[in-house]
Amino acid sequence: MKIWIDADGCPVVDLTIRLSKGYEVFLVCDTAHQFNREGATTITIGQGADAVDFAIVNRMAPGDIVVTQDYGLAALALARNGRAVDQNGRIFTNENIDFLLHTRHVGQEIRRAGGRTKGPKKRTRQEDVAFEQAFKRLLAETTARS
């Protein structure tokens, strides 16, 4: 099992690496971002719409875990029989991904029509705790399956 981090704009890179001791961890980012962290291998991809997402999906294997806030990437990871979690500890599942993709689509339609949607709130310690708990649970579940 490998851990794939959609590292562009991910606030839990260091926390994920710390929690992933004993696993192979990959930070995947585009050329606009540079990451070098001990305990992880960095893969830099050329810029382009969804380039990082496709790079992760094309490299991951069933049972791998993807850390991402991107619903589209999470859906692709699930389709490849992987697991996915966001930076706030939401575990993506086949049961919730369709609804999340729909809400993303509605938000895009609102913005295209000139409307505004809320941006992200300031990150809290509680979100880090929720991520840590969810990520540890995913590690345990995924390890038990192998």
Residue 111 has pLDDT above 90, yes or no: no
Residue 106 has pLDDT above 60, yes or no: no
Q: Which two tokens stand for residue 109?
A: 């339609």
Give 113's pLDDT tier (boundaries 50, 70, 90): confident
Domain spanning 2-145, CATH architecture: 3-Layer(aba) Sandwich (3.40)
> Strand 41-45 vs strand 2-6: parallel, antiparallel, or unpaired?
unpaired
Distances (CA, A) of 70 to 14, 23, 39, 99, 141: 19, 23, 24, 14, 22
The predicted-structure confidence for 26-50, as pLDDT tens digits, reads as follows 999 988 777 889 999 999 998 877 8
The predicted-structure confidence for 45-88, as pLDDT tens digits, reads as follows 988 778 999 999 999 999 999 999 888 899 999 999 999 999 99
The pTM (predicted TM-score) of the whole model is 0.84
Q: What is the pLDDT at residue 99?
A: 62
Spans of all domains in the chain: 2-145
The predicted-structure confidence for 123-144, as pLDDT tens digits, reads as follows 899 999 999 999 999 999 887 7
How would you list the strands of the sheet with 91-92, edge to edge?
A: 41-45, 24-30, 2-6, 65-67, 83-85, 91-92
